[in-house]
Structure 1
Amino acid sequence: MQINNQSRDVFYVSDGTAITCETLGHVVLGQFPFIPNEKAFPFVETPDKVADVVKEIETSYQRNGVKPLVFFSIVLPDVRELLLKAPAFSYDVLASIVQRVKDDTQMEPQPKLQRSRSVGKDSDTYFDRIAAIEYTLAHDDGITLKGLEEADIILLGVSRSGKTPTSLYMAMQFGLRVVNYPFIAEDISLMRLLPEFEIHRHKLFGLTINPERLTEIRENRLSGSEYASTEQCKLELDTVEALFRREAIPYINTSSLSVEEITTRIMEKAGMKRRLF
């Protein structure tokens, strides 16, 4: 059998959000040269739901002639066993760690569905995260500069430098209230900070990007425009980076970084505590 080394079907299956499976899967698959064709299946909590997943796995196997990779986290034994019967290479992302903790602590684990973390005693943190997401969406792309005193961090940068996806990731993953502001033409020409930001200097953090990468991103949005031209991109970036240096605003280059890496570096440089949900 000839295996296609260029791509491989990959499934993330969980009785929760599947975010843990995806995160660990991305770390692992990043070590291999093939392109993953990924699909996530969250909240697979019943035999009926897992049966649908198994059908998709079987279809993948029949279509490609090679078993897909399945990263999973399933608590309920009957659902787990049904999934393991599928024609796939399956990896329980928590099993080995749970077993080692059990051995080291001499305590029996008490499995529960992952999404139960969002209710009960953790409901306050759950609703804090929802409030953070709502705040971040309301302050996306300079929509409003009201309520900056509630922000945990304020991201600054030129248009399309990665502010919005980073803001939303920080809100969803860590419950942070994030404002992001794109420098507009007036800001570029005056090369100054808005007065609203002056009293919040300790919250400011800059994002920059290589001119070539910015041109590529903008071309995908507005091909052939001055906005996407190499000259305009370079002018904006040079001006904004000079502003960051002059105003002593910490900043990072996002060109080759994932949103997870961008967030981690921002939080590390800003001395922010990680609050996972």
Structure 2
Amino acid sequence: MKHTEIQTRDVFYVSDGTAITCETLGHVVLGQFSFVPNEKTFPFVESEDKVADLVKQIQQSHDKHGVKPLVFFSMVVPAMRDHLLQAPAFFYDVLESIVQRVAEDTQIEPKPKLQRSRSVSKDSDTYFDRISAIEYTLAHDDGISLKDLDKADIILLGVSRSGKTPTSLYMAMQFGLRVVNYPFIAEDMKMLRLLPEFEFQRHKLFGLTIEPERLTQIRQNRLSGSEYASSEQCEQEIATIESLFRREAIPYINTTSLSVEEISTRVLEKTGLKRRLF
């Protein structure tokens, strides 16, 4: 008997990494089914405490709806993987064959169609939302413009070459977020204060910092031998900007050893911004 009465289903994307692969694969697979997924993403599940909390949330979903949620996951540590698998859910390791298993568990036959991921179509509103987000982010890159800050989803702050531009563009292209990024320059450093334009957008501010040694290396590759790239200048700028972040209670992360994907995911995790996948 086919349980076609199920119109919605909780879906969890879980990973000890960024969870981007789980999300991407999950979107492609679920695009072949008629039910509406209620999606939640859990990146960097790297401890037993996080797994335990996640298991509780899955249990709550099961208790509330009376059906097992779907969990797309990727976890390396066997003990944590085994702990996760104790929850009342249907589990899909992203390395395994998925479509057929979803069909078996939901009793809904898939109807494969070329490029039928849930948001590929150019006719959908989400496609144009992403284009708009990219255009907005490009127009507000590197402090080019501080207009329409009320339309921003997030404002990234940091010294020059701390990873703001690639992170901004990645968040716009992958998640459809409108991102402003602003580099603190010498004038800002002397005043050590936020620009008046940011005062009304404090809840959107997020800082990126980096180890002075790495910043020096990056700047030397661009302007070798300049004061801008000197170790003394880099150390001073980092110390100043981190002091500002602490004083103004602006959350921030160190980007030194992180990829753009990891930076973006950690920013979203800390701010609670919802991903808009396409």
- Normalising TM by the smaller chain, what interval? 0.5 to 0.7
* 2:149 paired residue number: 148
Task: Tell whether 2:129 aligns with 1:128.
Answer: yes
Q: TM-score, length-normalised on structure 2?
A: 0.64
> Could you tell me how far apart the structure 2 residues matched to 1:226 and 1:156 are?
22
Q: Deviations 1:181-226 (Å, cap 9, x if unpaired)?
A: 0001100111111000000000000000000111111111111111
Q: How does 1:85-96 map to 2 (within 5 A)?
A: 96=97
> Could you tell me how far apart the structure 2 residues matched to 1:145 and 1:218 are?
25
Task: Tell whether 2:105 aligns with 1:97.
Answer: no
Aligned length: 190
Partner secondary structure for residue 207 of structure 1: strand
* 2:113 paired residue number: 112
Distance change (3 Å), C-alpha of 1:104 and 1:169: same
Q: Which amino acid aligns with 1:143?
A: I
Distance change (3 Å), C-alpha of 1:176 and 1:234: same
Task: Tell whether 2:207 aligns with 1:209.
Answer: no
Question: How much is the aligned-residue C-alpha RMSD, in angstroms?
Answer: 2.2
> Could you tell me how far apart the structure 1 residues matched to 2:113 and 2:119 are?
12
* 1:32 paired residue number: none
* 2:247 paired residue number: 246
* 1:234 paired residue number: 235
Question: How far does residue 119 in structure 1 lie from its aligned partner after superposition?
Answer: 6.2
Q: Deviations 1:116-158 (Å, cap 9, x if unpaired)?
A: 7556696101100100000000000000101101000000000
* 1:222 paired residue number: 223
Task: Give the structure with the larger helix fraction.
Answer: 1
> Could you tell me how far apart the structure 2 residues matched to 1:182 and 1:143 are?
10
> Could you tell me how far apart the structure 2 residues matched to 1:136 and 1:233 are?
26
Contact map agreement 2:157 2:206 (CA 8 A) in 1 = yes
Contact map agreement 2:121 2:127 (CA 8 A) in 1 = no
Gaps of 5+ in 1: 1-18, 25-92
Q: Which amino acid aligns with 1:165?
A: P
> Could you tell me how far apart the structure 2 residues matched to 1:158 and 1:211 are?
11
Partner secondary structure for residue 206 of structure 1: strand
Q: TM-score, length-normalised on structure 1?
A: 0.64
> Could you tell me how far apart the structure 1 residues matched to 2:181 and 2:121 are?
32
Partner secondary structure for residue 252 of structure 1: strand
* 1:5 paired residue number: none
Distance change (3 Å), C-alpha of 1:198 and 1:137: same
Task: Tell whether 2:173 aligns with 1:172.
Answer: yes
Distance change (3 Å), C-alpha of 1:134 and 1:111: same
Question: How far does residue 270 in structure 1 lie from its aligned partner after superposition?
Answer: 0.8
Point out which structure has higher relative CO (alpha carbons under 8 A, 6+ apart). Answer: 2
Distance change (3 Å), C-alpha of 1:115 and 1:231: farther
Gaps of 5+ in 2: 1-19, 26-93
